[in-house]
């Protein structure tokens, strides 16, 4: 199985890549929107960021809930997915999705408010459950892959890890908006060890072999190269990388989530770390890999069902699942091609 970061190109692909290259387009409108969006986020960061306590994030959450329907098809598809995945009726699903959009809006200020509260000595604003699981995994010296999803306050994870354990590497993909990418990097990069491109499988292997902690949100669509595994009772394409790393490198995959506990207008952030998931040595290689991925998916599904308003339902996790590969434990063919490091 190829583990190269990029697929082999054919004679026709360079022409296609050129056609899709943003540099070949008239990028004036894109540049204008890029600056406007980055400036808007900067204004929110500086203006609402001075509000006392959690007032700024609460204002954004209120705006997000009220404007959830403006996301259009994303809102309606999210509600439909919630009906199936949670077993609720449509009005309740719509309420959940609206609250989800509100919690997404909250993220724009959450890190700033979190840091400010810690600087003022408010250590009670956050806690860690299951720290012993990550400590145990780190003692093995084989690196740890923290696996989460677009759930809760995921942007706080690097800050929490740097304060309680050690700075971590994050698996990411540069945003198409360069101005926004620069602004997010300035905010985030002060607390991380570095970023690994999601296509850089070699870089991911290297950091884990060094005993590092790598964080990834593995609930994004994996496309045709992923395994088609149910998530919240609906087929979804899953990244294979966690299973491959667990089986080939002995890496421990630790499920994690940052849950918001609300008490009036105040928010307590709780980092929950579950017991490490490792490859079962009694299983054949391909079955051991898919077993790890299934267990990680089941862990996230349990968390979402317990706190559905904190999941990002407007991200259609289940889109394009028909093109994914049937996993080997269902007698499907073993997938081929490059393995993305993550989302």
The pLDDT of residue 247 is: 93
Average pLDDT, the chain: 82
The pLDDT of residue 26 is: 43
The pLDDT of residue 93 is: 97
The answer to whether residue 295 is domain-embedded is yes
The answer to whether residue 190 is domain-embedded is yes
The answer to whether residue 215 is domain-embedded is yes
* Structural domain count of the chain: 1
Tens digits of residue pLDDT in 114-141: 998 999 999 999 999 999 999 999 988 8
Distances (CA, A) of 165 to 83, 131, 135, 191, 279: 38, 9, 8, 12, 24
The answer to whether residue 283 is domain-embedded is yes
Share of the chain above pLDDT 70, in %: 76
Most confidently modeled range among 33-47, 87-101, 107-121, 157-171: 87-101
| Separation of alpha carbons 199 and 289, rounded Å | 19
The answer to whether residue 24 is domain-embedded is no
The answer to whether residue 238 scores a pLDDT higher than 90 is: yes
The pLDDT of residue 3 is: 35
Per-residue pLDDT band for 311 (boundaries 50, 70, 90) equals very high
The pLDDT of residue 20 is: 40
The answer to whether residue 48 is domain-embedded is no
The answer to whether residue 275 scores a pLDDT higher than 50 is: yes
The answer to whether residue 246 is domain-embedded is yes
- How many Cα atoms are found within 13 Å in the side-chain-facing hemisphere of 67? 11
**Selected residue with higher pLDDT from 81 and 105:** 81
**Selected residue with higher pLDDT from 28 and 271:** 271
The answer to whether residue 253 is domain-embedded is yes
| Separation of alpha carbons 306 and 3, rounded Å | 36
- pTM of the shown model: 0.81
The answer to whether residue 227 scores a pLDDT higher than 50 is: yes
State which residues form the domain around 221.
Answer: 122-330
């Amino acid at each position: 199985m190829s583990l190269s970061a990029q697929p082999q190109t054919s004679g026709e692909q360079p022409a296609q890549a050129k056609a899709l290259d943003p540099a070949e387009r008239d990028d004036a409108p894109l540049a204008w929107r890029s600056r406007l969006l980055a400036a808007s986020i900067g204004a929110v960061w500086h203006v609402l960021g001075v509000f006392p306590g959690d007032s700024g994030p609460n204002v954004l959450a209120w705006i997000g809930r009220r404007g959830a329907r403006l996301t259009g098809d994303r809102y309606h598809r999210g509600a439909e997915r919630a009906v199936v995945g949670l077993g609720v009726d449509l009005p309740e699903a719509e309420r959940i999705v609206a609250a989800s959009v509100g919690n997404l809006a909250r993220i724009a200020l959450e890190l700033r408010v979190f840091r400010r509260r810690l600087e003022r000595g408010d250590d009670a604003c956050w806690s860690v459950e299951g720290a012993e699981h990550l400590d145990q995994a780190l003692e093995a010296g084989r690196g740890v892959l923290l696996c989460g999803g677009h759930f809760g306050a995921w942007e706080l994870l690097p800050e929490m890890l740097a304060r309680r354990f050690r700075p971590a590497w994050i698996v990411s993909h540069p945003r198409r908006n360069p101005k926004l990418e620069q602004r997010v990097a300035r905010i985030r990069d002060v607390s991380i060890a570095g970023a690994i491109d999601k296509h850089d499988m070699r870089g991911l292997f290297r950091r884990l072999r060094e005993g590092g902690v790598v964080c990834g949100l593995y609930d994004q669509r994996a496309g045709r190269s992923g395994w088609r595994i149910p998530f919240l009772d609906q087929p979804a394409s899953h990244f294979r990388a966690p299973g491959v790393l667990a089986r080939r490198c002995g890496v421990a995959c630790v499920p994690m989530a940052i849950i918001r506990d609300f008490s009036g207008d105040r928010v307590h952030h709780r980092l929950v770390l579950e017991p490490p998931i490792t490859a079962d040595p009694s299983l054949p290689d391909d079955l051991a890999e898919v077993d790890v991925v299934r267990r990680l998916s089941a862990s996230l599904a349990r968390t979402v069902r317990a706190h559905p308003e904190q999941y990002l339902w407007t991200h259609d996790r289940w889109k394009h699942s028909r093109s994914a590969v049937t996993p080997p434990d269902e007698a499907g063919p073993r997938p081929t091609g490059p393995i993305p490091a993550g989302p």
